[in-house]
Structure 1
Amino acid sequence: MAASIALVDDDRNILTSVSIAMQAEGYVTRVYSDSEAALQAIVDNPPDLGIFDIKMPKMDGLELLRRVREKSNLPVIFLTSKDEELDEALGLAMGADDYIKKPFSQRLLIARVKSILRRLELTRDANQDQEVEGMEPLVRGELNMDPARHVVTWKGDNVTLTVTEFMILETLANRPGVVKSRNQLMDAAYQDDVYVDDRTIDSHIKRLRRKFREVDPDFDAIDTLYGAGYRYTE
Structure 2
Amino acid sequence: MPRIAVIEDDRAMNQLHYEMLAQIEDVELHQAFNTAEARALLASTEFDLLVLDIELEPGGPSPKGGISLLSEYGSTTPVIIVTGMPEENLHEIALDLKAFEFVRKPVSRVDFLNKVRHALAFRDIYKSKRSDDSWPTYLEVDPSRKPQLIWRGKQIYLSNTELCIVYLLAETVGKTVEYEKFFDALKTGQSERVVQQHISNLRKAFVEVDPGFDRIMTNPMKGYFWKADAN
Q: Do the two structures share a fold, i.e. TM-score over 0.5?
A: yes
| 2:104 alignment partner, one of 96, 101, 105 | 101
Q: Does 2:41 align with 1:41? A: yes
Is the CA contact 1:75–1:162 (under 8 Å) kept in the aligned structure 2? Answer: no
Number of the residue aligned with 2:160: 191
SS in structure 1 of the partner of residue 6 of structure 2 = strand
The letter of the residue matching 2:118 is: S
The letter of the residue matching 1:164 is: K
Matches of 1:35 and 1:96 in 2, distance apart?
A: 17
TM-score (normalised: structure 2): 0.59
CA displacement at 1:171 relative to structure 2: 5.5
Matches of 2:72 and 2:125 in 1, distance apart?
A: 26
The letter of the residue matching 1:92 is: L
What are the ranges of 5 or more consecutive residues in structure 1 without an aligned counterpart?
A: 139-145, 153-160, 176-184, 194-230
Matches of 2:151 and 2:83 in 1, distance apart?
A: 28
Matches of 1:33 and 1:49 in 2, distance apart?
A: 16
SS in structure 2 of the partner of residue 51 of structure 1 = strand
Matches of 2:131 and 2:73 in 1, distance apart?
A: 26
SS in structure 1 of the partner of residue 39 of structure 2 = helix
Is the CA contact 1:7–1:32 (under 8 Å) kept in the aligned structure 2? Answer: yes
Q: Structure 1 vs Structure 2: percent identity of aligned residues? A: 18
Matches of 2:144 and 2:36 in 1, distance apart?
A: 24
What are the ranges of 5 or more consecutive residues in structure 2 without an aligned counterpart?
A: 163-208, 210-231
Post-superposition Cα deviations, 1:62-107, rounded to whole Å, max 9, x if no partner, equal 11212335xx611101012262332221111111111000001122
Q: Does 2:28 align with 1:28? A: yes
The letter of the residue matching 2:2 is: A
Say how many residue pairs are matched. 157
Number of the residue aligned with 1:120: 123
CA displacement at 1:23 relative to structure 2: 1.6
* Greater than 6 Å deviation, 4+ residue runs: none
Matches of 2:160 and 2:102 in 1, distance apart?
A: 15
Matches of 2:89 and 2:107 in 1, distance apart?
A: 19
Number of the residue aligned with 2:69: 64
SS in structure 2 of the partner of residue 37 of structure 1 = helix
